[in-house]
Amino acid sequence: MGEPGTKELLSLDELEAAGNLRTGRKHIVSILAENKPGVLTRIAGLFARRGFNIDTLAVGPTDDPDLSRFTLTLDGAVHPIDQVTKQLHKLVNVLKIRDLEPEETLARELAMFKVAADGSSRGELMQLCEIFRGKVVDVSRRSLVVEVTGTQEKVDAFERLVRPFGLIEMARTGEIAIARGRGET
Amino acid sequence: MRAVDALMECLKAEGVDVVFGLPGGANLPTYDAFYDAGIRHILVRHEAGGGHAAEGYAKATGKVGVALGTSGPGATNLVTPICDAMMDSVPTVFITGQVRTELLGTDGFQEADTIGITMPVVKHSFMIRHPLEIPRSVHEAFHIARTGRPGPVVIDIPMDLSRADIPYEPVSDVRLPGYQPTTDGNQKQIRLAAKALANARRPVLYVGGGVVHANAAEELTELAMFDRLPVTCTVMALGAFPAPHEQWLGMLGMHGTRTANYAMDEADLIVAIGARFDDRITGKLSEFAPRAKFIHIDIDPAEISKNVPAHIPIVGDAKNILPRLTAEYRSLEPDPQRLEAWWTRIKGWQQRHPLAFEDSSDAEIKPQYMIKALYEATGGDAIVTSDVGQHQMWAAQYYDFPRPRRWINSGGLGTMGFGLPAAMGAKVGCPDQQVVCIAGDGSVQMNMQELATCSQEGIAIKVFIMNNGYLGMVRQWQELFWDKRYSAVDMGRFPDFVKLAEAYGATGMRLTDKHTLVEGMREALATEGPVMCDVRVTAEENVYPMIPAGQAARDMVG
């Protein structure tokens, strides 16, 4: 690559190659933070300025009204997950961070799909729905809204299957996660 | 009492005796409280000057520096010092006024989202939403600013809340469950480190600004001395190890000595203490210290293995860790003979590659000579602040700092305009010390309005402008790497610094002759009140040696 600070030209390919590392394992990071104004901005801002890419983010209350739980999924190849968690720990409002082990974690997300469904394709669509334990939550003359919960991978699979029918809209929450067994998340 | 009077009580309880600031609409209540609070308030001419003064005060004294500004532009003018304090871990608290709560979010007059704007560059910040939060937030802010890895904390107070009548009770504790810095180093890790040191053949101590913040210079020196370990410091740590000294290799990094950089290159064990492997230190990361194992001691766990993987990480306060490391190391009774070959190699570099420059044969003042002259004139024991650029590097190279907190500069952010206000803050914090600022003719113009503050307040700083008529460091890079196409670096010979100094109520002097330079500097130092000296130096001189950006230590040039 061109030496930094010098007049040597830098090709766009070189620049892009540096930014396109992926394929690391998916990480689910669970953050327990004080339920105070601006905490979401602090966490999101930290990711942005350190160049960490968030794939999904879900925020909600916990059993303690003073605390919120943030569940993030990200790709561990782009930045070492270790550096992500250490930087998060420096936020004063963040109390606890866990990089959850996939085998010991239950992860779910909720997705809603609005799919084109006229008479001919409706039956097939309903079958798919059943296989994925989805629920039809809205029906109109030419479309269905289906609700599916599951892991990110399951929702991805459902998406791939319904896309050919004519996917009009989709909304996903991003995963939330909790540790299996008695242990704390 | 009024919330702002409670604020004053809190500041006093935190030991604040001086603040730097500038009033405006949104902090009128705070300024009314200053009227009879018994805290010295220094009225600066620009909030950035106040912010850097707070940094200079903090760096010179080790106490928390405090700066104030009003809402909107007052706060945005503080952003540069806040970011600077973040990069260099300077314990500082910034208190900004904010529009009254009913105007928040309406683009009110002088409204800016101070908390949002500063969020990426603060250690923490407090948006006050209820007047009762003020006392606790102030104490938490000071606690966060000065403990762990120090840094800037912002407190933003809407004007209506600051006028509220609140029952004030002193706060004696802080409750921050999410903030528990580790200070005690792990004993097992310390033992491992001692063992690695006792077995090392080519060790180097690589010392960063953290050692200064931790007040651990003595502990460092003790560790280094007992087994004759070579020591190098970053630009933030100069003075942490007493220079000159036979174990002192000089500064390392882009404009460090060849000896220091070569030693890092060939070392088999590098002990990084309060240092963060900045790109100005490592050069090309893949070729940095290729033979070395790393012990990394730092209070911030996020620094460990951020840029260079540590073999033995130790998280904690250097002041806690270093004496324990020395004790463990001593108990292993290392063989001093094992370092003989290493010292022979180092001495060879020192003899072959001392810091050197070609002096003029006439009256012309070489910039390096100017630093040596100032060292002589000050007896080598002034508090020296600097701006950013060539003069900063020459000062770092040629002024030997015998103690910590004598050298105050902007390392991480590299803020031009830092030096003069930082000198002002340092002088306020250490009124009995000689405080000089080595400035560039470019840098000094970014905050020279504070000379008026110095004249008004009788803050007797001595500013020595290394005047080469250029933005010298940029010119150097254009010369070396961009075919001498000098683009926007010529400053001409403007302004007339002598007249300007006089206009500000300071003493102006001009020094142009090498032969009378030391004498002239002595006169400036002996002159009462603030002095600004325009020292005319060689226009096109380069800082050497140098590791070109992105290259390895052994590729040093010059």
Architecture of domain B187-352: 3-Layer(aba) Sandwich (3.40)
SS3 label, residue B208: coil
A18 touches chain B (CB under 8 A): no
**String of DSSP letters for B57-116:** HHHHHSSPEEEEE-STHHHHHTHHHHHHHHHTT--EEEEEEE--GGGTTTT-TT---HHH
A4 touches chain B (CB under 8 A): yes
Is residue B114 within 8 Å of residue B69, measured between CB atoms? no
How high is the mean pLDDT of chain B? 97
SS3 label, residue A57: strand
ipTM of predicted assembly, 2 dp: 0.88
Hey, do B3-162 and B367-536 end up sharing a CATH topology, with the first three levels equal?
Answer: yes
Sheet strands (E) in A26-181: 26-34, 54-61, 67-75, 94-100, 105-116, 135-139, 143-150, 167-172, 176-179
DSSP 8-state code for residue B272? E
Task: Tell me the per-residue pLDDT of B320-378, one tens digit each, with 9 for 90 and over.
Answer: 999 999 999 999 999 999 999 999 999 999 999 999 999 999 999 999 999 999 999 99
Which residues of A are less than 8 Å from B477 in CB distance? 5
Domain extents in chain B: 3-162, 187-352, 367-536
Q: What pLDDT is stored for residue B41 in this prediction?
A: 98
Which residues of B are less than 8 Å from A6 in CB distance? 481-482, 548-550
CB contact under 8 A, A4 and B115: no
Dihedral sign of CA atoms B325, B330, B334, B339 in order: positive
CB contact under 8 A, B483 and A90: no
Confidence band, pLDDT 50/70/90 cuts, at residue B47: very high
B305 vs A47: CA distance, rounded Å: 18
Task: Tell me the per-residue pLDDT of B453-510, one tens digit each, with 9 for 90 and over.
Answer: 999 999 999 999 999 999 999 999 999 999 999 999 999 989 999 999 999 999 999 9
Question: What domains can be seen in chain A, in order of their start residue?
Answer: 12-100 (3.30.70.260), 106-179 (3.30.70.1150)
In angstroms, what separates the C-alpha of A145 from chain B's closest C-alpha?
38
A82 touches chain B (CB under 8 A): yes
- Please state the rounded mean pLDDT for residues A106-114: 96
CB contact under 8 A, A5 and B301: no
Is residue B393 within 8 Å of residue B415, measured between CB atoms? no
Q: What pLDDT is stored for residue A2 in this prediction?
A: 45
Q: What pLDDT is stored for residue A5 in this prediction?
A: 62
Task: Tell me the per-residue pLDDT of B267-281, one tens digit each, with 9 for 90 and over.
Answer: 999 999 999 999 999
CATH match of B367-536 with 3.90.930.12: no
- Measured between CA atoms, the residue of chain A closest to residue B301 is A86
CB contact under 8 A, A7 and B548: no
Q: CATH code for B3-162?
A: 3.40.50.970
Which residues of B are less than 8 Å from A95 in CB distance? 177-178
CB contact under 8 A, A38 and B127: yes
